[in-house]
Amino acid sequence: MKNNKLYIVSTPIGNYEDITLRALRILKSVDFIVCEEIKPARRLLSEYNIQKELIPLNEHNERETAQEVIDKIREGNSIALISDCGTPLFSDPGHYLLELALQYKIEVAPIPGVSSLMPALSMSSMRLEKFYYFGWLSPKKEIRRQELNRLKKIKEPIVILDTPYRLLKLLEDVKNHFGIHQEIFLAYKISMEDEKYLRGSVEKIISIVNKNSLKGEFVLIINNRGK
């Protein structure tokens, strides 16, 4: 394996068996692994009996740590970047590290794998020739309202993410802006033992979420195109 290289390695979002053979080979071969947080990274790597020196890089230290990582690569080391789960740089830290790597003309290689987006889209049963990925709504009430008003004008399936504790709040916001009969799809805890895929009106899904006290990672798709 060539040194002086940065690998962007995708890891499972729930089920540890979803990792690719190539990702395992890279993680075993690199000199260091850059991660969001130490504990989740150690827990992940222990599943595959991989022991590597970990370098935490997150929103609190990215500027200074990114330069340290670049220096290590320029000294001849190979490094893998992982997030807590899924595909790095997808609503995760690491963008500044990538910018520096490109500035220093360091070779960067993506190692494809799991993300929550494609399983949710494929399970939605919606027509997906086109869709609109919005990502995370603002937690600020007025900005969030403005974002939802803009999204209502987009006549395509709309993908939204949010934190687990705001799932019910998000569904209530969708009901208030799109109407109680708006068709939605909720992919909940994808690939985990208690995964759920819920389809129907936003009113129906709110009832299910309330009844089962659902609070976990999710992807929400609003079928704003209609049937």
126-157 pLDDT per residue, tens:
988 899 999 999 999 999 999 999 999 999 99
Mean pLDDT of 22-35: 97
Element (H, E) at 144: helix 141-151
User: Which pLDDT does position 108 carry in this prediction?
Assistant: 96
* CATH number reported for the structural domain that contains residue 124 in this entry: 3.30.950.10
Confirm if 113 and 123 have CB atoms less than 8 A apart.
no
Q: Which domain holds residue 132?
A: 117-223
Q: What is the rounded distance in angstroms from the CA atom of residue 185 to the CA atom of residue 89?
A: 25
42, two tokens: 């150690």
Closest CA to 198 of 189, 188, 190: 188
CA pseudo-torsion sign 137, 56, 12, 101: positive
Q: Mark whether 191 and 148 lie in a shared domain.
A: yes
Record the pTM.
0.88
Q: Mark whether 103 and 147 lie in a shared domain.
A: no
Element (H, E) at 213: none
Digit-coded pLDDT (tens) for 37-69: 999 999 999 999 999 999 999 888 988 999 999
Number of domains composing the chain: 2
Q: Mark whether 20 and 67 lie in a shared domain.
A: yes
